[in-house]
Structure 1
Amino acid sequence: MSFRSQVHLSTQTLVGASSTIKFFSETILGHHFKEVELDKEEPQPGDLFLFKLQSPRAQWFGAHVGVYCGHGEIIHFEGRTSSHGGLPTLLGYCEGVVCKQGHRALQRSRRLWRVLRRRGGINPGELEQRVREAMDSDPPPYHPTGSNCIHFALNLLGVDLMTMDLDLNRD
């Protein structure tokens, strides 16, 4: 790999990490998303389901994100490591897998943290088209910071975190 491509990959990883961190900033969450209480209302297509992730020794914490598609289904993106595993796989790209599951089954297998709804709503037809495309095409490689479940979910909603950041600066 050339120096130029190494710099590009490093820059891409930093931009991806930055956008992931920005998503969890309360400023962006509060400005562009609102929390939904499922005990008071039903999920709507486009709702983001955030599930808690925690390392076995609680050394780090994160979230896995999926998008509610309607009809009781959530689409989400995750990485599948090879049986070899190892440190390079954790720090680099691995196989990306797009899954659609029933939201109740997913909630039984993972700890639901919160459900978020985009302020101003989403276009259901566009979401349906993007979900169909994601299910019919080969998924991109997964990377913990450069191409993860958050990037996938926001892309399904037609959201660009960099644009959101610019919108915040205008207020």
Structure 2
Amino acid sequence: MSFICETLVGASSTIKFFLSEALMGQHFYEVELEGGEPQPGDLFLFKLRSPKAQWCGAHVGVYCGHGEIIHFEGRNPSGGLQKLLAVCEGVICKQGHRALQHSRQLWRVLRRRSGVDPLVLECRIREAMDADPPPYHPTRNNCVHFALRLLGMDSMSMDPTRD
């Protein structure tokens, strides 16, 4: 029963983020990058596509500065629908934001209303890159939870140590 409750709570925190931010702009506002550069802490939301190329969600990364985005994803070596909601290996990586935009379709860029301390963000990014990545779970510990932890917004995300 605990697994079901944690999965529902984790899923609701992800849904809460998309409803409160992508639709209502509670903690973030959308920025246009036409002719401008992103700022450290900007959230890049990329469209996720189903096998039939229908939009089915978003992948979130955090702009680090210096042209890089850090993001967290799961690697499921066995694949398959039965593993869709299972814990799998978590992978944290940095990629050039332009290269990432070529491999994924950018949906929108969000900037935190209260701003981001670049030195604190840089420290959290270094810690994330140096640590063993936590396990990935699509509802309990995903790219949204990871991005919000980097921005110090843990109350909107779930504790990554709980399984």
Q: Which runs of 5+ in 1 are unaligned?
A: 1-6, 164-171
1:101 is the counterpart of 2:95: yes
Q: RMSD of the alignment, in Å? A: 1.7
Q: Paired residue for 1:48, among 32, 43, 51? A: 43
Partners of 1:71 and 1:154 lie apart in 2 by: 20
Q: Do the aligned residues in 2 keep the contact of 1:34 with 1:118 (CA within 8 Å)?
A: yes
Corresponding residue for 1:67? 62
User: TM-score with structure 1 length normalisation?
Assistant: 0.85
Corresponding residue for 2:107? 113
Partners of 2:44 and 2:58 lie apart in 1 by: 10
**Residue 40 of structure 1, CA deviation:** 4.2
Which structure has the larger Rg over C-alpha atoms? 1
**Residue 58 of structure 1, CA deviation:** 4.7
Q: Do the aligned residues in 1 keep the contact of 2:73 with 2:92 (CA within 8 Å)?
A: yes
Q: Paired residue for 2:142, among 140, 148, 166? A: 148
Partners of 1:145 and 1:27 lie apart in 2 by: 18
Q: Which moved more, 1:56-65 or 1:72-81?
A: 56-65
Structure 1 counterpart of 2:37, one-letter code = E
Partners of 2:54 and 2:110 lie apart in 1 by: 26
**Equivalent pairs, count:** 156
SS at match of 2:138: coil
More helix by share: 1
1:11 is the counterpart of 2:15: no
Q: Which runs of 5+ in 2 are unaligned?
A: 158-163
Q: Which moved more, 1:26-35 or 1:140-149?
A: 26-35
SS at match of 1:91: coil
Q: Do the aligned residues in 1 keep the contact of 2:148 with 2:156 (CA within 8 Å)?
A: no
